[in-house]
Amino acid sequence: MSNILVNFMLKKIDNFWRWKGWEISWSYSKNPINTSAKNILLIHGFGASKKHWRSNQDILAKLYNCYSIDLLGFGESSQPCALLDYESPKENHVKYCFDLWANQISDFCNEIIQSPVYLVGNSIGGIVSLKAGEILKETCDGIILIDCAQRTMDDKRLERKDILMNLLRPVLKTLVSKRFISNNLFKRAANPKIIRQILKQAYPSGQNIDDELIEILFRPSQRSQSAEAFRGFINLFDDYLATDLFNKVKSDIHLIWGEKDPWESLDEARKWEENYETIKSLNIIKGAGHCPHDENPKETNDIIIKIIQDTK
């Protein structure tokens, strides 16, 4: 059957799900002639949204039931105010953290998908996938991490011998906790020119940096509460590392990595593969950076499909 006919037949649904009083945006794609019972849930990274899977979801849906979702605070999902550890609880405030997002994902899988699922996460979406996989246990068929966040600024990764950083860190924490500072930082970053500059780092080949991608990242940043998830996340100095979770999930873990990722070390990913039995493979996308699923979607999609086909 031709790709044109398959695309024409593809069923795609965009919807909202009410979760703990918040509106969560999600999308579902399925080829009506596909009889596979396998499900995939795509989980975006920091500052992105479900639309960042623009070149993956419909392709994967030719073979499987494929979902994508906006994490709370991002995309078209609700954007409650950030609540930091030292602040008193308030209405319409949440602590943005991996437990929050992982519970969102596990509840979505239980309430909406209602059957075993493969979790595919990029960047911080990888940590979310791991924690959600731990919660889901046997109903998580597998986890695929695409350039998983290594969280080098977490307190647990701070080297005691780094005297300068130990001196500056309390000052840094105080500064970014101030809403007016985090808001100004966000406003500076949330414009098309800066977004394009950041993408040139994230996508070293330059492939697929287009107006559509700029719009995908820029439009959500213009919502009234868009700076809140940013504030919450940049104040997250003590939360899960991937290495905290590798041995807690019951399903197999697979890594996909951009060879030239400027932010998440490929060398560290190689160490993960060597040191953790739950990690079954590491596939490297040559020439790609932090988001190979969008920079080189064909190769990434092929790898995802092979991983799922090879799963017993």
pLDDT in tens, 128-180: 999 999 999 999 999 999 999 999 888 888 765 566 767 777 888 888 899 99
Domain that holds residue 74: 3-310
How many Å apart are CA 225 and CA 121, to the nearest integer? 24
pLDDT of residue 179: 92
Alpha carbon distance 141, 36 (integer Å): 14
Please say whether the beta carbons of 120 and 50 come within 8 A: no
Beta bridge partners of 230: none
Using alpha carbons, list the distances in angstroms from residue 226 to 32, 199, 218. Answer: 36, 19, 11
Q: What is the pLDDT of residues 26-64, one digit of tens each?
A: 999 988 777 788 999 999 999 999 999 999 999 999 999
Checking if the pLDDT of 198 tops 70, the result is yes
Split into its structural domains, the chain has a count of 1
Is 311 or 300 the better-scoring residue by pLDDT? Answer: 300
Q: Shortest CA distance to 65 belongs to which of 137, 13, 123?
A: 13
* Residues 6 or more apart in contact with residue 191 via CB below 8 angstroms: 218
CA distance 240 to 250: 17
Average pLDDT taken over every residue of the chain:
93
Residue carrying the six token digits 């350039």? 147
* pLDDT over 70 (residue 5): no
For residue 289, the domain's CATH number is: 3.40.50.1820
CB count within 10 Å of CB 305 equals: 16
Tell me the C-alpha distance between 278 and 203, whole Å.
Answer: 29
